[in-house]
Structure 1
């Protein structure tokens, strides 16, 4: 982009295979409102050969990170070594890109882009993020914007340092760590704009992205994300038909997802 912003996601072969999450992720950009142009600025970082090969067959901007032997997406439980390793890879990659002078929008690949979320990113804040409070935990919403700055570099280097001293430190959410370390440099966005299966919102006029949170099983995740995109297609078609009376489309709309995904009270994936 003109302001040196790149959109970045990370996945392995479990999500990056035919008929899996990556297909739905890219489709969301194509059918979202004013989101198609962002595909030219979306970079997919593949964790293994399978994900890299498939990504290059359907998207022009893919690269492979150092091989990770374990199947990260199959692991359950936030304290598993694979979960912490994925966070290490993520933050190391963010640091390298930020140091090159690029601003970053990091998005999980199971986040469906339905509208342009950039309208909610503060160009003056070092980090723009949406956080969910569940019990005593501060959880991420699968999307964050980070500007290339001295503060961002210092923060990401701090995470590198802390994980050496305390290997489980990265088990915290990015939101929780940003609250404690970035404070005044962080802009928090209304969680209603960035939805998830844990707390689905039927206010379709407000939702910009939808993530398959509270969903461990890959088949259930793909099934329910397909429902999200199909519902979005039907909704936008209805709005076009009732352009003179937009409220007619809103009043009768509701998401069908989550359906197969287990809505566990304390789960977040």
Structure 2
């Protein structure tokens, strides 16, 4: 008898349990689309400060956060989608996109859904005629590339960081920065641009 995978504990990055979890998540997301619902999905290691939906174009079928922003939200290459923040509209073409995306797992047995998506995004966006958007990291930031302006950031993702304890440590630091920013009088906020500090064990400069 096949043993069911236990997803109640931490799954280490790129382990078999981690890969299985990512693909089960992907299948669940497809089911949401099949039921006729749009969805906005974020990982548990994403802090929300403002509503990011106002930065998602009405014309986008898919909208992703990016590890790095290359200056054009409509530029598929070299943009790398981050599945930890993803908005998808329900339609026949997005459902077919998901079905064919999942079918690609057999061709990439050691990769998770996000890596596979990065490999197929150009071909599949043309094949299924879906419009992809890669949201500016000014608004949907992450530890790979932090927002340059705390007064505009909507979400911060603990990407480019491995391990639950490391993520928690630096997310708490980000939250401390946010609380400090919110405590500043409005007249002082208007005089300068505020940024998150460089600190912690996850947050470090990474070259594109």
Gaps of 5+ in 1: 1-66
- SS at 1:230 equivalent: helix
Deviation for aligned residue 1:159: 1.9
Deviation for aligned residue 1:260: 2.8
Q: Does 1:182 align with 2:125?
A: yes
Deviation for aligned residue 1:123: 2.4
Q: Distance in 2 between matches of 1:74 and 1:264?
A: 26
RMSD value, Cα? 3.0
1:97 alignment counterpart: 32
Deviation for aligned residue 1:258: 4.0
CA contact (8 A) 2:137 2:146 kept: no
Deviation for aligned residue 1:175: 4.6
CA contact (8 A) 1:159 1:170 kept: no
CA contact (8 A) 1:214 1:261 kept: yes
Identify the match of residue 159 of structure 2 among 196, 199, 213: 213
Identify the match of residue 233 of structure 1 among 179, 186, 196: 179
1:247 alignment counterpart: 190
Question: What TM-score, normalized by structure 2, do the two folds share?
Answer: 0.77
CA contact (8 A) 1:104 1:147 kept: yes
Q: Which structure features the higher share of strand residues? A: 1
- SS at 2:138 equivalent: helix
Query: May I ask how many residue pairs the two structures share in their alignment?
Result: 193
CA contact (8 A) 2:139 2:153 kept: yes
Q: Does 1:75 align with 2:12?
A: yes
1:17 alignment counterpart: none
Which range is displaced more, 122-131 or 183-192? Answer: 183-192
Q: Distance in 2 between matches of 1:192 and 1:97?
A: 29
Q: Distance in 2 between matches of 1:208 and 1:131?
A: 14
Identify the match of residue 94 of structure 2 among 137, 142, 152: 152
Q: Distance in 2 between matches of 1:124 and 1:101?
A: 18
- SS at 2:86 equivalent: strand
Q: Distance in 1 between matches of 2:100 and 2:83?
A: 22
* Structure possessing the higher relative contact order (Cα contacts under 8 Å, 6 or more residues apart): 2
Q: Distance in 2 between matches of 1:237 and 1:143?
A: 28
- Decide whether aligned partners of structure 1 residues 246 and 173 sit closer, same or farther in structure 2, where only a CA change above 3 A counts: farther
Q: Which structure features the higher share of helix residues? A: 1
CA contact (8 A) 2:67 2:81 kept: yes
